[in-house]
Structure 1
C-alpha cells in the first residue's frame, strides 16, 4: 500500500534486469576476476600485498599472524568474506601454485595432495624478497591511488612492479561471459624477451620466442608438443599438453615407472586414488602396486609393474586415462585501461614496458621535485650562513625578534629568502653552524645540483629511460632468475625438430639383452688392425653389445624383430649415453612384445617425403633363407604398437633388413661359409602381408647369417668375419652372379681355427669397422689397413681374442677425419670388464653363441 508522500515509478523489469546484471558483470570483470595487464594482479592480491606493506611485514622482518594480516586487509580495503582474502594469500605462498611465490608462509599452507591450510589463527606470514620489487617505489608517487570502500583511506590502483608478474606467475579467473587462464613463465627468459623488445620494437613474436621458449610451470613436468605453445604466444589462446616427468627403474625383479614431477595443478592424492580405481576396473592392466614415496626431498610416485607388463604400454595407458597427462588451455585475457582484452606475447610485453616507462618518468619527476626542494633550502642556508658576517646578522635578527613569526619575516627581508628557506633556517640546530657543517652543506648542494642535472637528463632522454628499465630488469634477473623447470618434448607436435637438435653423427648400440643408447661418434678412438681394443660397454652374464650402427640425429630408425614386426624411432628419441653407459631397455622406448627381440634395423631419411619412400624398397632375409622385398612406402606411417613387416613361419626368424633403390645386387651368406650373389630385380616387390620367396638353398645343418646390398661393384668389397676373429676382404666380382635360390659359392674356408662365419659386410677403403666381442671389448679400425684377397682363403686375424672369447658383432662406421695420427696407431691393452648391464627378461636370453648372429645396418 502506498504511503503518503511516496511516489511509485513504474519500470520495465526487462530493462531493470539488463541494467543491474550489466553493472554486476562489469563489477566482477573489473574488480574481482581479471588481472591488470600492468602488474598482473587482481584487486584481492594487490590489497593483500598493500596490506602487508602497510603492516611492515617485509622479508627481513618477523612473521605476523595471518589473522592479523587478513583482518587488516578486510577492515581497510577488501569488504568481503575473510576466506576470500586468506585463500588468496595462501595461494600466494604455495610454491606449487605460483612459479615465484610472493608471500613467505610459516605453518601449514596446504599441500599438492589438496590438503587444506591450517586456520589463519595458526599460520604466520611475511612478504617474500621478490615482493619488495613489486612494491618498490610505491612511496614516490609512481602510481595513482583511489579511495577505499568507505572513502576513509587510499589504496593503489596498480603496483609499480619491476617484476613482469603477469608473465612469470600467470593467473586464472572466471568472470561473467569471459574467463582468463594465463600460464606462468621463467623469469630469466621473460626478462631476456622484454630486453629484446626494448632493443627492437618491431621484433616479431617468433623472434621473442627465441628468448621465452615456452611456459615454465612451478611443478615442472614436460610440455608435450609445441603447437599449443606457438598458438598461445601468437594469438593468446592455445592448448598446451602437459605430461609428468617419468623414469624407469628395476625394483627387485620388477620393472617400475617412477614419476618425479606431475603436471601443473594436478592433485597428487586424487590422481593416485583414481589410478588405483582404474587398475581395479582393469582399464589399466599390468600394474602390480602403486606407492607414493614423496618426502621433503621431492615428489616420487612408484608404479610397480607385473612381470609380463610392457612398461611403455602401461605408461601410454597412464597418459591416456590419468592426470599424468593433462592440458592447460591458455586464454590470455587481462584488463587494459580498465577494459578486458585478448593479448598475445608481444602485447603483454608491450604493456609491461609502457607501465615501467611511466613508473620511471613519475619516479624521476618525484625525485627531481624533492631534489629541487632540497636545493632551494640549501641555497637559503648558504645565503644566510655562507659567511661569518651574514651568520652574525641572522643570529642578531633571531635574538631580537619578539616571536618566531617576526624572526621569519626579519630573515626574509634581510636576506631575500622564501618563506620555506626562512623556516628551514629557524629549524637549524646550533651544531649545524660550525665550519665543518658549512662545508658539508656546500658539498651536499653540489651533489644535489649534479643529481638535478642527471634527473632532468633522464626526463629529456627517452632512450636513457628505456636503458634504465633494462638495467633494472637485468638486476632482477641476477637476483631472482633461475633455470627452467618444465622441459619441452618437441617431438610430441609438428615442430621442425631439425631447428632444435644438431644433426650430429652418432653411434647407436643395442645389447643382446635389449639395451639401446646413442653415443657421439667422436667418443670412439681409431686403432690399428690386431689391437686389443678399448672399453666400449659392459657385460654381465651372457649380455653383450650385439648391434652397432652409425647415423645422424635427424634420421629415422626402423626396428625389425625376429617375429617379423616393424617399429619406428627418430634417432634423437633414443636416449644419449656415454660409451660405457648401460643405455635404456628397448621395451621402454617401443612397445615390443616381451618374448620378441630386435634382429635388424634400417636407417632412413624423412619418411614424410613421398618421392623418397616410393623410390626405396625394404629387402628382408630370414634364417631359413626366405627373402622379401616391399616398398618403403608401406612402412612410412609409424604406429605406436608397430606393424607386421613379414610373416614368419615356424622355426624361422627374421635376420636382416636393408634399404635398396631397385638397382642393387644382393649377397646372402651362410654359417658354413657359402655366399650367393644375384640382382635385386630377381626379387619381385610384394605387399607387406606377403611371406616372400627363397633367396638361397642350404644344407640341413646350415643357416643364413646375414645379407648385404651392393650398389657399387667396382669400389665395394665384401668383408666376411668368423667367430674366432678371422676375416678377409674380397672383390664383389669374385662371386659370380647366379639366379635367386641357388646354393652359392664358398666365401670363407671354414675350419676349426676360424670358427663359423658370423658376419658379412660391404666395405671400401674409406670405411671404418667397429668390432665388438662377447666380453664387451671394442676395436675400431680402418678398412684401408686390410688388403683384398681371394675368395676361397682363410683370411687374416682381425682382433686378438683372449681365452674362449668370440666376436659378437661388426658394423661399418664413418672414419673420423680429425683423429690424430698417433691416436690411429695407438694400441690399448684393455681387458677390463665394463660396468654392469642389468639384464631385463633374463629368461628370454639366447645362451647359444650360434644364435648371436650380426645383422648389420644398411647404407643408402
Structure 2
C-alpha cells in the first residue's frame, strides 16, 4: 500500500494552502461573533427586536392571531416559528414568547397570554402545551402595513419562505420596552421608557432637528420600569441618555403603617425591576438571623396577581422604621443599580447610541416606511384606476363591445379585437372587460364605477403630492405617532427622585405657609394654614388632629415650605428637617411618628422648633443666636452658625443635668430682652447681653430662680427693645388668658425670682404658656383632647400683671390647654365660629353669635369687664 501513495509535495501541492493558524482562528471567531451579534443577541435599532421576537410576531400575524381572535396554543406558535424561520431550539422560542407576555418584564406586552406565564416571585411558566397566546393591539401596530412593501424581505434558513428583515413598526419599541442581550465581545442593556414621553420626544425632534440630546431629556425624562419603583438620582440616568452608557439606581416603594397594637409595619408595594420577591424576603430573613438588620420581627410576602406586590415587614416595638428602611436599601435588592448600555444594530453594525441618535434612527425609519407605503399605495391606485378607465371606455361603447365579443371565436381573439378596436384599450384592460360580470352593466353599477374612479384620481393626486413634499410626510409620521400615544400610552410608573446635590429641589416645591403640628406622643404633620378657619374668643373650637386617648397636640408653628426646621429635644439634642419633608396630612389626621423621619431615641422627645429661612446664609447664621432654657431655669446662648451644618444623627445642643429637661428654644439677633415664666405665675425680664455666648456642649447659667418643688419654667420669649407693638400674652391651664404691656415688667438681672404675671387661682389653673404678640396676629390654642381654636389677638384686651384675665376657650370636662402658638394674619380667611360641632369648622357661616361654649363673664376680682363677642 505504501508504494501506491503519491507524496503530497509532488502531485497534490497545488491543493495545499499555507495559512497562519492565528489568523485562521481570528477570522473564524470574528465570523462566529458577527453571526451571534446580528442573528441572535442584539436588537435592530429600527424596530427594537431581535430576530426571534420578530419571527414570533410575523408568524402570529401569518396565523391571523390578532387581539380579537381566539387564543391558540403556545406550542402551535413555537412549531410555526421553529419550522419556518428560527431553527434554534424550542425552549428559546417559548422563553421569548413568555417574556413578551409578562407584565413585569415588558413595559408594554406584545403578546396576550392565557394561562400560567410565571410570576414575579420566580415561578416558571407552564409548559407550552398548556398556555395559549394571541397578539396584543400594540403588537399588531408593529406589523401594520407590512403587506404594502414597506420593508425588505429575505429568504428563510432553507430558502423556502420569505421573512421580513425588520418590522414596519409604528411603536418606538426599542426605547419603550428596552432590550438586553449578551453577544460575543459586547452586550446591550437598554432600559424601558414611557411611551407617551418617547412620542413627545420624537415629535419635538421632527419639529426641530437641531435639538440636542440634552434638549430631548426634557421630554424623555428617565426610564420607566414596568414594576414601578423610584429612580434614585438622575446623574447616571442623564449620562445614559446623553452618551448611551450610564447607571440607574432604582429603589422599591414602601410606606409605614401602624397596627392597632401600636407596632409599626413597613409595607413594600413595589420592588425594583427584575427583582424576585420571594428571594428578597429570604434575603431579609437571612439578614435578620445574622443580626445584620435589627428591629424586624417578621417578614411575609402577601403579593398576589390581583392586588400586586405587598411585602409586609413587622417591626419590633422599639424599632425605628426609618433606620430599618435604610438598612434594607443598603443590604438587599430593595435598592438595585442597572448599567445602561445602549448598543443596537445600525445598518447591520453594532453601535452605541444616545437618546437623540435612537430617536433619529426611528424617525428616519418611519420616514422610509411612509415613502415605501405611499409608493405602493400609489402603484396600486394607478393599477386600479387603469382598470376602471377601461371599464368606463367599454361602457361608453357598450353595444360595440358586446357585438365584438359575440363575433369573436375565442377569448384570446376577443381580447385582441378589443385592443385593436381603436378605443385606446390595452391587454390588461381588455382582459378585465372580458371578465366583467353582466350586473356591472346596470346604470347604478356604472355610477359606482365612475364614483370609484373619481375618488381614486383624488387619492393618486394626494399620494403624488405626498411623495413630492417631505414636510407632508413628516406630518403624517407625527399624526400616526399621536394616534399611537392616544391608544397605548399610560401614565409613568417609576417616580423620579432628584438627590440634593443634583438640583435645587426648592424649585419644584410650591412656597406656601403650612402649620406644623407635633403631638405629645411624637406624631408630626404639616397642613396648609388656610385649613384652620378663624374663630371668635370663647368658641368651642374644632378638632385639630386625630390622637389616641392619651395623646394631644403639643407643638404648633407656621412656616414656609422653603424653610428649614431645627428641632431641640428634652435631652438637649438638635436635629434638622426641611419643612417640605414633613409628611403632609389633613387637619384631623394623626401624622407620622417623628422617629421615622429622624434618628430620635425612643426615650427622647421634641421640645422646641426653630424656623430658619436659609441655613446657608453665612451673614445670617453668624449674626443670630439660639437661646435655650430648661425647666429648672437654666438659660444658654449659642451662635446659630454652630447649628447650621445638619447631621443625620443630630448634635448635642446643651448639656442637661440630671433631673432637668430642655424646655424651649428661641432665635435672637443678640440684642433682645428675655422673659422667662414659671408655672406658679411669676415672670422675669432681663437683657440678652447678660447671657454670654457659649459652645454647644456647655451647661448654661441660671435665668430665673425656681424654688418650689412643684414649680418649673413653662416658657420663654425674646423681645426686641424697640418693638413697641409687642405685648406679653399669658395663658393658664383652664383657658384664661390676658395681654400685658412689656414695660409693666421691670428689667432686672438674670437669676432673680421675677414678678407676678398672672393671678393663679383654682379657677384659672397654673400658667401653661407665654408669648410675645401683636394685635395683627392670631392665637391658636390646642387642648389635650385635640381640640383647636384660632382667634384674633386683638379680641383679647390688655390687662395688668396681677389680674387673672378672661376666658379664651370653653373647656369640656377635665380638658386642659396643652399648647399655644401665634399665627401671622392670613388674608381672605373669614371669621367664623363653631356651631357646637367639635369635629369640624363651620365653613362660610355669617352668624357671629357664640353658641358653642356660652362662656360666663367671670373676670371676677379683676376690676375689669370681659369683652363681649361682636
**Do the aligned residues in 1 keep the contact of 2:141 with 2:169 (CA within 8 Å)?**
yes
CA contact (8 A) 2:533 2:832 kept: no
Gaps (5+ residues) in structure 1?
835-860
- From 764, 769, 782, give the equivalent of 1:754: 764
Structure 1 residue 349 displacement after superposition: 2.1
Matched, 1:399 2:406: yes
Aligned partners of 1:620 and 1:657 also within 8 Å: yes
Question: Aligned to 2:660, what secondary structure does the other structure show?
Answer: coil
Coordinate RMSD, CA, aligned: 2.2
Q: How far apart, CA to CA, are the structure 1 residues paired with 2:683 and 2:213?
A: 61
Deviations 1:540-599, CA, capped at 9 Å, x for gaps: 312111111111222222222212222222222222111111211212222221222111
- 1:411 pairs, out of 413, 418, 422, with 418
**Aligned equivalent of 1:232:** 240
Structure 2: 5+ residue stretches without partners? 842-870
Determine the C-alpha separation between the residues in 2 that align with 1:664 and 1:260. Answer: 52
Q: 1:72 to 1:507 in 2, by over 3 A?
A: same
TM-score normalised to the size of structure 1? 0.92
Partner residue in 1 for 2:287: 278
Q: Deviations over 1:195-219 (max 9, x none)?
A: 3333333345555444333322111
CA–CA separation in structure 2 for the residues paired with 1:164 and 1:683: 70
Who is 1:595 aligned against? 603
Mapped partners of 2:468, 2:750: distance in 1: 88
CA distance change for structure 1 residues 199 and 707 in 2, over 3 Å: closer, same or farther? farther
In structure 2, do the counterparts of structure 1 residues 174 and 771 end up closer, same or farther at CA, with 3 Å as the change threshold?
same
| In 1, Cα distance between equivalents of 2:249 and 2:826 | 41
Question: How far 1:133 sits from its partner (Å)?
Answer: 0.8
Match of residue 364, structure 1, among 361, 371, 374: 374
* Max Rg structure: 2
How far the C-alpha of 1:610 sits from its partner, in A, is 4.1
Deviations 1:171-192 (A, max 9, x none): 1122233322222122222223
Q: Distance in 1 between matches of 2:210 and 2:679?
A: 69
The answer to whether the 8 A contact 1:226-1:492 is kept is no
CA-CA distance at 1:284 after TM superposition: 0.8
Deviation at 1:307, TM superposition (A): 1.6
> Are residue 721 (structure 1) and residue 728 (structure 2) matched?
no
Name the counterpart of 2:145. 137
What SS class does the counterpart of residue 652 from structure 1 fall into?
coil
Give yes or no for the alignment of 1:267 onto 2:271.
no
Describe the shift of the 1:525–1:283 C-alpha distance in structure 2 as closer, same or farther (beyond 3 A): same
SS of the residue aligned with 1:824?
Answer: coil
| Equivalences, count | 828
Find 1:814's aligned residue among 824, 836, 852. Answer: 824
Specify the alignment match of 1:484 in structure 2: 492
Q: Which one of 324, 327, 330 corresponds to residue 340 of structure 2?
A: 330
Residues 492-531 of structure 1: pairs in structure 2 closer than 5 A: 494-531=502-539
Contact kept in structure 1, 2:146 and 2:167, CA below 8 Å: yes
Other structure's SS at 2:133 match? strand
Structure 1 residues 355 and 828: CA distance shift in structure 2, 3 A:
farther
Aligned mates of 2:742, 2:210 — CA distance in 1: 63
8 Å CA contact 2:514, 2:561 repeated in 1: yes
Could you say if the C-alpha distance between residues 574 and 444 of structure 1 is closer, same or farther in structure 2, counting changes exceeding 3 Å?
Answer: same
Q: In terms of mean alpha carbon deviation, does 676-685 or 199-208 score higher? A: 199-208
1:563 aligned partner: 571
* Alignment equivalent of 1:343, drawn from 330, 353, 358: 353
C-alpha change, 1:363 and 1:739, in structure 2 (3 Å) is: farther
Look up the match of 1:258. Answer: 267
SS at match of 1:379: helix
Instruction: Please say which of residues 350-359 and 708-717 is displaced more in the overlay.
Output: 708-717
Q: How far apart, CA to CA, are the structure 1 residues paired with 2:668 and 2:207? A: 53
Q: How does 1:75-224 map to 2 (within 5 A)?
A: 75-205=83-213, 207-224=215-232
**What is the correspondence of 1:722-801 to structure 2 with a 5 Å cutoff?**
722-801=732-811
**2:387 alignment counterpart:** 377
Q: Measure how far apart 1:723 and its partner are.
A: 1.0
Structure 2 Cα separation of the partners of residues 640 and 123 of structure 1: 53
**Partner Cα distance (1:170, 1:563) in 2:** 53
Task: Give the number of the structure with larger relative contact order, counting CA–CA contacts within 8 Å between residues 6 or more apart.
Answer: 1
Q: Which residue pairs with 2:716 in the alignment?
A: 707
Distance in 1 between residues matched to 2:286 and 2:302, nearest whole Å: 19
In structure 2, do the counterparts of structure 1 residues 234 and 686 end up closer, same or farther at CA, with 3 Å as the change threshold? farther
Can you list the C-alpha shifts for 1:336-362, whole angstroms capped at 9, x where unaligned? Answer: 333333333233222222222222222
Flag the 1:174–1:777 CA change in 2: closer, same or farther, 3 A: same
SS in structure 1 at match of 2:440: helix
Is the 1:244–1:261 contact (alpha carbons within 8 Å) kept by the matching residues of 2? Answer: yes
For the 8 Å contact 1:227–1:495, the answer to whether it is kept is no
Instruction: Look up the match of 2:451.
Output: 443
Task: After superposition, give the CA deviation of every residue in 1:427-467 in whole Å (9 maximum; x if it has no partner).
Answer: 21111111111000001011111111222232233333222
